[in-house]
């Protein structure tokens, strides 16, 4: 069947029937009764419609238990909840012998039934979910794509990842991978190397050079959407909207798309060719990109409305670096981590003579420190207010920095900088006793009085965080949560002008997060935008979801499955002399053996 060939799945989108039973396997014509036979646009439409059904079902179940289940087609559940409440009320109304404490308990039970029916209707039917899949912000079907790698089908594995996440190359290298922390293999040896397997599928899939097909508009003119911000959330939204057949244009102040993935991630962690693989695939869907454009100056809500755009999505990220109040300029030896990493990425290396101190404990601080080592600094120290164990940077990145020679000074807060002849020479620090949080969420270190000590520093890189610059938004604009859990908000303009729908998503809403979280926010925003702009089309979506997984026989654990495979890495001595990627991808054998360790927690035995 041509539509299920690996290259066609990667080109047109994943189809569930590769991994499930279908009524008529091998059938050439698409079957409207099976979600596995729907193309990428149909499946996204059904996802939007299914969420709308769940919301309506939840509201109806507040009117009377069971109504929502009947509306969504869950007849047996609807009858159960509808019959359960009258039984409780009949017992409550039986007050012939007087009102007792038990009647109050029965009233509480009736209220609990009402509420549980609402929650169950709003949640809708769900398949068994593996712990790793539930921990993933993008809810990628992790065990399924690992199974495809195990069966030597990396192109199909990549297509399955792209179904929820367009940045497989980046997240195969620099993801916090909470999925591995929840892997059941933690109880039996070590977790599956999920991130490394994702990278293996991405590298082989992209190497095949298969161009994705743009989404179809269903024979009608699709809406036009402007996305402001070319980072993870903006590009993810553009990718999803393009798959739905929408005309999308991305505006960004940087000349090239990618946001902090392109300009803020060190080359040795995320090389340029991997970035191009992710970004070029999104642009190949028909997404237009206009770089070097500043929103609020070059374009505005009103100008985009006059150009014929139906909606604007603000996804500018959190790109404004925070600086310490007493810090000077670059001519005095001070840099912020974001601009520092941008210059390094563009090969416009700033001078880093002598002792380099990076202030901060996050991943940006680790990247800046490792870059400074590669640029010839005599020694590099990371100073942060947190303890070594409480540093927000990834543990594996800290280990890599230590192996390359980066020093750490935890529990230290800057008091003042010392300058000589117009350049920084050191800073005075205080010992931090504990770190508290202010009511606004900002870090408030509590220092020990009289514990001052001096730290030599010829160059200071500040990596203390970033925030969103939303000064371009009109005065009086307000935000209405559409999906606050995924950082999606609807903009409400004062006076109803301009006449264009506005949305916000990603890091610019709630602050910096990971790429996978930003991507999920952008995807969810795109689905909300399309649902608002194409109401009739979404309302007319009627598909029966017959997706199901085939049970597998139980397999006895093997001693070899308790050992976690690791990809080869450059030695620390070689790594600190080059900006080349420090870790290679899995070999075919290593990827297959690691994938065999997966317990397939999402299957029935």
> Last residue of some domain: 123, 139, 157?
123
Number of other residues whose CB lies within 10 A of the CB of residue 51: 17
**pLDDT value of position 97:** 58
Name the residue with higher pLDDT: 559 or 53.
53
**392 within some domain:** yes
pLDDT in tens, 547-595: 555 556 667 777 777 788 888 999 999 998 899 999 999 999 999 999 9
* pLDDT at residue 535 tops 50: yes
Residues 332 and 308 in one domain: no
Residues 342 and 457 in one domain: yes
**pLDDT value of position 542:** 65
Which residues, 6 or more positions from 531, have their beta carbon under 8 angstroms from its beta carbon?
48, 51, 52, 538
**340 within some domain:** yes
Q: What is the mean pLDDT of the chain?
A: 85
pLDDT, mean of residues 87-115: 70
pLDDT in tens, 429-487: 999 998 887 776 677 888 999 999 999 999 999 999 888 989 888 888 888 888 777 78
Which residues, 6 or more positions from 573, have their beta carbon under 8 angstroms from its beta carbon?
none
**What is the end-to-end Cα distance of the chain in Å, rounded?**
29
pLDDT in tens, 151-175: 899 998 999 899 899 999 999 999 9
pLDDT in tens, 310-333: 999 999 999 888 898 888 898 899
- H helices within 353-407, ranges in order? 363-374, 395-404
Select from 159, 143, 138 the least CA-distant residue to 201.
159
What's the domain count of the chain? Answer: 4
Residues 396 and 338 in one domain: yes
**pLDDT value of position 385:** 93
**Cα separation, 86 vs 90, whole angstroms:** 6
Residues 278 and 332 in one domain: no
CATH code assigned at 143: 1.10.1060.10
Number of other residues whose CB lies within 10 A of the CB of residue 467: 14
**pLDDT value of position 28:** 36
Per-residue confidence at 25, pLDDT binned at 50, 70, 90? very low
Residues 442 and 356 in one domain: yes
CA distances 8 to 199, 216, 221, 279, Å, are 20, 16, 26, 20
CB 555 within 8 A of CB 26: no
**pLDDT value of position 403:** 94
**Cα separation, 593 vs 150, whole angstroms:** 7
CATH code assigned at 270: 3.50.50.60
* pLDDT at residue 249 tops 70: yes
Secondary structure class of 433 (helix, strand, coil) = strand
Name the residue with higher pLDDT: 564 or 31.
564
Number of other residues whose CB lies within 10 A of the CB of residue 59: 15
- 137-141, 406-410, 512-516, 542-546: least confident range: 542-546
CB 347 within 8 A of CB 380: no
Residues 361 and 430 in one domain: yes
Residues 133 and 200 in one domain: yes
> Last residue of some domain: 480, 511, 533?
533
Name the residue with higher pLDDT: 241 or 46.
241
Per-residue confidence at 494, pLDDT binned at 50, 70, 90? confident
Location of structure tokens 């317990």: 599
**335 within some domain:** yes
Residues 370 and 298 in one domain: no
Residues 118 and 183 in one domain: no
pLDDT, mean of residues 532-538: 86
Per-residue confidence at 216, pLDDT binned at 50, 70, 90? low
Per-residue confidence at 372, pLDDT binned at 50, 70, 90? very high
- Report the residue count for the chain: 605
**pLDDT value of position 27:** 38
Per-residue confidence at 100, pLDDT binned at 50, 70, 90? low
* pLDDT at residue 237 tops 80: yes
Residues 494 and 401 in one domain: no
Provide the domain limits for residue 136: 129-211+547-596
- 30-44, 186-200, 438-452, 546-560: least confident range: 30-44
**pLDDT value of position 551:** 59
Name the residue with higher pLDDT: 581 or 98.
581
Q: Of all residues in the chain, what percent carry a pLDDT higher than 90?
A: 51
- 46-60, 212-226, 304-318: least confident range: 212-226
> Last residue of some domain: 105, 123, 141?
123
pLDDT, mean of residues 263-285: 92
Residues 458 and 527 in one domain: no
Structure tokens at 429: 């620090």
Long-range (24+ apart) CB contacts under 8 A made by 388-395 are 390/361, 390/435, 391/361, 391/362, 392/361, 392/362, 392/363, 393/361, 393/362, 393/363, 393/365, 393/366, 394/176, 394/363, 394/366
For residue 107, the 8-state DSSP code is H
Per-residue confidence at 2, pLDDT binned at 50, 70, 90? low
**Cα separation, 251 vs 292, whole angstroms:** 8
Q: Where does residue 152 fall: left (phi above 0), alpha (psi -120 to 50 degrees), or beta otherwise? A: left
**Cα separation, 551 vs 513, whole angstroms:** 37
Which residues, 6 or more positions from 492, have their beta carbon under 8 angstroms from its beta carbon?
477, 478, 479, 480, 502
Three-state SS letters, 66-85: CHHHHHCCCHHHHHHHHHHH
**17 within some domain:** no
pLDDT, mean of residues 73-94: 78
Sign of CA dihedral 166, 20, 44, 31: positive
CB 153 within 8 A of CB 144: no
CB 341 within 8 A of CB 367: yes
Structure tokens at 70: 């009947």
Residues 342 and 422 in one domain: yes
Backbone angles phi, psi at 435, to 5 degrees: -120, 120
Name the residue with higher pLDDT: 336 or 2.
336
Element (H or E) spanning 321, and its range?
strand 320-321
Q: Looking at mean pLDDT, say which of 192-206, 491-505, 537-551 comes out highest.
A: 192-206
pTM metric for this prediction: 0.88
**30 within some domain:** no
List of E strands, 343-474: 355-359, 379-384, 407-410, 412-420, 423-437, 443-447, 453-456, 459-462, 466-467
CB 315 within 8 A of CB 233: yes
């Amino acid at each position: 069947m041509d539509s299920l060939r690996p290259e066609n799945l990667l080109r047109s989108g994943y189809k569930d029937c590769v991994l499930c039973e279908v009524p008529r396997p091998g059938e050439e014509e698409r079957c409207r009764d099976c979600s596995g036979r729907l193309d990428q646009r149909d499946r996204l439409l059904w996802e939007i419609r299914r969420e709308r059904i769940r919301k309506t079902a939840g509201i109806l179940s507040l009117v009377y238990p069971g109504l929502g289940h009947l509306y969504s087609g869950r007849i047996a559940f609807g009858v159960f909840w509808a019959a359960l409440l009258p039984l409780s009320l009949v017992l409550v109304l039986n007050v012939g012998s007087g009102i007792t404490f038990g009647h109050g308990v029965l009233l509480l039970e009736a209220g609990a039934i009402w509420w549980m029916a609402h929650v169950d209707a709003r949640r809708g039917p769900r398949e068994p979910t593996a712990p790793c899949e539930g921990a993933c912000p993008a809810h990628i079907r992790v065990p399924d794509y690992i199974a495809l790698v195990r069966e030597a089908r990396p192109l199909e594995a990549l297509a399955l990842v792209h179904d929820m996440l367009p940045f497989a190359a980046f997240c195969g290298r620099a993801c916090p991978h909470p999925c591995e922390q929840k892997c059941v293999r933690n109880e039996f040896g070590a977790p599956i190397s999920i991130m490394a397997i994702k990278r293996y599928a991405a590298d082989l899939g992209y190497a095949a050079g298969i161009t994705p097909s743009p989404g179809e508009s269903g024979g009608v003119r699709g809406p036009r959407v402007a996305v402001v911000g070319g980072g993870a959330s903006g590009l993810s939204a553009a990718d999803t909207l393009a798959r739905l057949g929408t005309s999308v244009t991305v505006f960004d102040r940087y000349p090239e798309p990618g946001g902090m993935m392109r300009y803020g991630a060190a080359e040795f962690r995320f090389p340029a060719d991997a970035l191009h693989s992710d970004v070029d695939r999104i642009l190949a869907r028909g997404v237009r990109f206009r770089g070097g454009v500043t929103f609020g100056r070059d374009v505005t809500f009103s100008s985009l409305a006059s150009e014929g755009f139906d909606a604007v999505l603000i996804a500018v990220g959190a790109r404004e670096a925070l600086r310490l109040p007493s810090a000077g300029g670059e001519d005095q030896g001070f840099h912020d981590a974001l601009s520092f990493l941008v210059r390094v990425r563009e090969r416009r290396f700033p001078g880093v003579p002598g002792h380099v101190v990076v202030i901060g404990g996050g991943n940006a601080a680790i990247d800046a420190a490792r870059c400074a080592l590669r640029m010839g600094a005599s020694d590099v120290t990371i100073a942060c207010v947190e303890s070594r164990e409480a540093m927000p940077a990834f543990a594996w990145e800290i280990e890599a920095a230590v192996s390359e020679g980066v020093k750490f000074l935890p529990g230290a807060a800057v008091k003042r900088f010392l300058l000589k002849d117009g350049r920084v020479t050191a800073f005075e620090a205080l010992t931090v006793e504990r770190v508290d949080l202010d009511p606004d969420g900002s870090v408030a270190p509590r220092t020990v009085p009289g514990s001052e000590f001096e730290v030599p520093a010829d160059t200071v890189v500040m990596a203390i965080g970033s925030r969103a610059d939303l000064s371009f938004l009109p005065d009086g604009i307000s935000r209405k949560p559409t999906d606050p859990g995924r950082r999606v908000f609807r903009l409400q303009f004062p006076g109803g002008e301009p006449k264009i729908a506005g949305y916000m998503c990603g890091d610019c809403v709630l602050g910096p997060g990971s790429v996978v979280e930003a991507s999920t926010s952008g995807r969810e925003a795109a689905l909300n935008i399309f649902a608002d702009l194409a109401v009739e089309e979404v309302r007319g979506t009627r598909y029966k979801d017959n997706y199901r997984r085939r049970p597998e026989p139980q397999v006895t654990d093997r001693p070899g499955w308790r050992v976690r495979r690791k990809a080869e890495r450059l030695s620390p001595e070689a790594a600190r002399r080059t900006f080349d990627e420090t870790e290679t991808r899995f070999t075919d054998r290593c990827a297959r053996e690691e994938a065999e360790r997966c317990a397939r927690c999402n299957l029935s035995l």
